[in-house]
Amino acid sequence: MLALIAGCNRKTDTSKNMDEQPKTPEQPDLTNDTTPRVTGIGGIFFFSDHPDKTKEWYAVHLGLETNEWGSSFEFRNANRPDEINYLQWSPFVKGSEYFAPSTKEFMINYRVQNIEGLVKKLKNSGVTVLDEIESFEYGKFVHIMDADGNKIELWEPVDSVFTSMGGKTTK
């Protein structure tokens, strides 16, 4: 059978255990990693002519649990599976100044760790940092511009605040 699958009629080596998987490098333990970096997507924001109608359409047709800001997606942290994390999907009224100085129709929020270290690294690399880090009970935020002129929001979250608030989420 193996010869047929491989597309040849030569003799196969049966000395190897077919259940053995090739060795892969061990994944690093990231549970206590504090390297300044992006760890995931924190939000997807986009312009809409009618944000409330857009939220309603997504709720009715695609099953999103919506709230006044859009929809909060709940997921598990790969390095700490007991930890609930969140991603925010939000339509903004077209022309909102929140995306400025970018002229794009969208903005991505990236989840980060060690936001202070990351901002220092970005500034040292010549990246445009638009504002100072702001702290809220649910995390720290700062905005940067990428090489294509997209405003990017960086967020070091405190997911436990959202978990304790409760409310419906999209799962």
Burial 123-151 (b: 16+ CB within 10 A, else e): eeeeeebeeeeeeeeebbbbbbeeeeeeb
The predicted structure's pLDDT at residue 162:
87
Other C-beta atoms lying within 10 Å of the C-beta of residue 155: 21
Is 39-165 assigned to CATH 3.10.180.10?
yes
The predicted structure's pLDDT at residue 2:
34
Residue 127: DSSP 8-state: P
The predicted structure's pLDDT at residue 33:
78
The predicted structure's pLDDT at residue 27:
54
For the chain, domain boundaries: 39-165
- pLDDT tens digits, the chain, 171 residues: what are they? 333 333 444 344 444 454 555 555 565 555 577 899 999 999 999 999 999 999 999 999 999 999 999 999 999 988 888 989 999 999 999 999 999 999 999 999 999 999 999 999 999 999 999 999 999 999 999 999 999 999 999 999 999 998 898 889 998
The predicted structure's pLDDT at residue 23:
52
Phi and psi (nearest 5°) for 5?
-65, -40
Sign of CA dihedral 161, 165, 170, 171: positive
The predicted structure's pLDDT at residue 77:
83
**R_g over Cα of the chain:** 22
Residue showing tokens 């995306």 = 99
CB 153 within 8 A of CB 141: yes
